Copies of this chain bind each other. A is one copy, B any other.
Amino acid sequence: MTNGLRIAILGAGGLGRGMALMLSKRKGFTLVAMADSEGFAYNPAGLSLEALNPNGQIQQLHLIPEFGVKTPTAIADLMVNHGDAIDAVFMALPNLPVDFYANTIQFIAENTAFQGVMVDALKRTKAVELLLPLNDTLAENNILYITGCGATPGFLTTIAAVAAQSFVELEHIDIHFGVGVANWEQYRATIREDFLHLEGFDAERVAAMSDQEIEEELEKRNGLIELVNMEHADDIILELAGICDRSKITVGGLVDTRNAKKPTSTTVTVKGITAQGESTIHKFVVGDATTMVDNVCGPACGFMAKGVELHNYGIVGLRTSAEIMPRFSAEGLVLAASQNMIQPQAVSV
């Protein structure tokens, strides 16, 4: 019997392994499984960082002694065989093609005994849109899926959702991030996804590019990728939460693929109108020493734990990270109890 929530990480790249590190440093989480395209490792007593990185070297999952399984259908095999012994899943898979997440989630919901919480760190609006129709399938299978739980959308979106509470109307929400990675090869999938936002690139073209070709494109840019008006799911997530129309939300950033030091501080700027009709700005500035792992995996941890708490009260289906926060609007809400619609049981906490 393990202590703490039993976590599976799907994906073993930079984010997946970052989450393994984060889980080891937060209280109440036990990493029991991890899967990649070649296999998975499962240990109900917990997979240690030492097992994942013996002697500081990255170990392929299927090669982990005793707990590794080689299989080309690793995610399916892991979730079919052990889904009923997993409390929460962090989706750290690459999302090319863009419907890969939706298909994977539908498979898990319909074909495994998993009845827990899933969170992702998806970035593109389109990717989140493709998940929305899965609400009923997830709910019917007792799964709570929270989308947009990384850095942006996720950490910075939920800061914006809280910041919005001072205002009666939002004028503009801008997220501008600085990211520095010492070596882009540690975050191949993430950097490839950033390329989708550059002029002249799309999913098909990026998927067809070799690592060498990515490297050449980076060389042309001195290792810097400047991203403007990105299609980032912060927009749909804040819109769905009733905060403002997606047209008022902009996301951009500067990624340095050659230096761990951020080329610029990450900021969230929330401009709105007060009850007295004044326009003003709240600003959040992220500490430069935080990495992508800190700002993606830390918040995703928080949403996994929150998700389990909510799931225990029967909250299932698809939610966004901003919908977990205090609500901006009460539109459409009624209190079931005082309308005599339901008679909730007294639950002691």
Contacts and interface: CB of A to CB of B under 8 A. Distances in A.
A30 to B, nearest CB: 9
Contacts of A289: 274, 278-280
A28 interface: yes
A294 interface: yes
Contacts of A314: 313-314, 344-345, 347
Q: How many copies of this chain are found per oligomer?
A: 2
Contacts of A117: 335
B275 A297 contact: yes
Interface string A275-297: 11011111111111111011101
A42 interface: no
Nearest to A151: B166
Interface string A125-165: 00000000001100111100000000000010011001101
A139 B329 contact: no
A308 B287 contact: no
A192 interface: no
Contact of A335 (B298, B311, B342, B349): B311
A325 interface: yes
Contacts of A57: none
A210 interface: no
A62 B325 CA distance: 37
Interface in A1-60: 4-6, 18, 21-22, 25-29
A297 B330 CA distance: 14
Counting contact residues on chain A (CB < 8 A from B), the size range is 35 or more
Interface string A321-349: 10011111111111111100010111111
A230 to B, nearest CB: 21
Contacts of A223: none
A84 interface: yes
A90 interface: no
A344 B310 CA distance: 11
A168 B313 CA distance: 27
A346 B272 CA distance: 38
A280 B290 contact: yes
A167 interface: yes
Contact of A330 (B28, B114, B169, B278): B28
A38 to B, nearest CB: 26
A68 interface: no
A293 B275 contact: yes
A64 interface: no
Q: Which 9 A-B pairs have the closest CB atoms?
A: A28-B330, A280-B287, A302-B326, A280-B289, A87-B335, A305-B327, A28-B331, A305-B330, A25-B168
